[in-house]
Structure formats: C-alpha cells, structure tokens
Copies of this chain bind each other. A is one copy, B any other.
C-alpha cells in the first residue's frame, strides 16, 4: 500500500530497487490481487505467505495461504481450476502482489462464479447501501466440484 516514505536509489531499496523484499505482515502474509488476463476483471483477493509467493514465482501457477484453513493451497487443487500466471507485479512498499492469470474452467470463485466480486454496491431510494448481482451466473455447480 502507498505510504509517504522517502525513496533512495539503492538497488535493494523497497520502493525503487529491483530486489524482491516482500513486507510480510504480523501473520507472515502479503495481499494478492488476482485479475483475469483477458477481461482485466478482479477475480479474487487472497493472501500469500513466503512459501506461496515462492511457489507461485517458480511454478507459474497461483499458490495462496488460507487464513481460515491455516495452510498453503494451490488454486485448483480441489476443483481443477488452476490459475496460470502470465504476469506478476509487486507494489511500491512490497506488501501487495498483483497477478494476471489465465483461469482454468473460467471461474475463480468457490461459489461457481467467474469472479468473487459478483455483487455491486448500490444505494436504495433512501440512500442506504444495497447489493445488486452482476456477472453472477454460475460457471459450475460448487456442490459437484467440491463434492458436498
């Protein structure tokens, strides 16, 4: 995320350098934003620990760390919906990663939608927030894919 720290020209400088120096949070994680390389849509937001980051860089497929399950996971390990990474970037203060992927099966969300972001935040007549389904068609049946 952006902060207003001054930059220096050292190669391993966090903001201006060319060395990868991920700034993991207290839980050992960086945030990862995953977008569809074709449409540009944000597919999901997840986290990577050092091992997930390393495996993603080395394998060219997306690995994450699940905070709820407290374990490393390869995207698609259950569903087969792997994400092939076409480009990987890191942000100014090196605490967030952006990956552009080719999404197998056409759906990134465990609910069966293309993207986890299938609801728009609108406002109702009185100005209160209300969600509207958008691009919410299911590409697969999660009960079948995850065997519930």
* Nearest B residue (CB) for A134: B89
The reply on A104 being an interface residue by CB < 8 A is no
* Nearest B residue (CB) for A113: B92
Contact of A96 with B45 in the complex, beta carbons under 8 Å? yes
Complex CA gap A134/B113 in Å reads 31
Complex CA gap A130/B119 in Å reads 37
Main secondary structure, interface of A, reads loop
The reply on A72 being an interface residue by CB < 8 A is no
The reply on A8 being an interface residue by CB < 8 A is no
Q: Return chain B residues, CB-CB under 8 Å to A4.
A: 110, 146
Contact of A109 with B2 in the complex, beta carbons under 8 Å? yes
The reply on A9 being an interface residue by CB < 8 A is no
Binding site for B on A (CB under 8 A): 1-4, 6-7, 15-20, 31, 33, 35, 39-42, 44-47, 57-58, 66-69, 87-93, 96-98, 108-111, 113, 116-121, 123, 127, 129-134, 146, 148
Other than the known A1-B67, A33-B42, A44-B91, what 14 A-B pairs have Cβ atoms closer than 8 Å? Answer: A1-B47, A1-B116, A2-B46, A2-B109, A7-B111, A18-B119, A18-B130, A18-B132, A20-B129, A31-B45, A89-B134, A90-B131, A92-B111, A96-B116
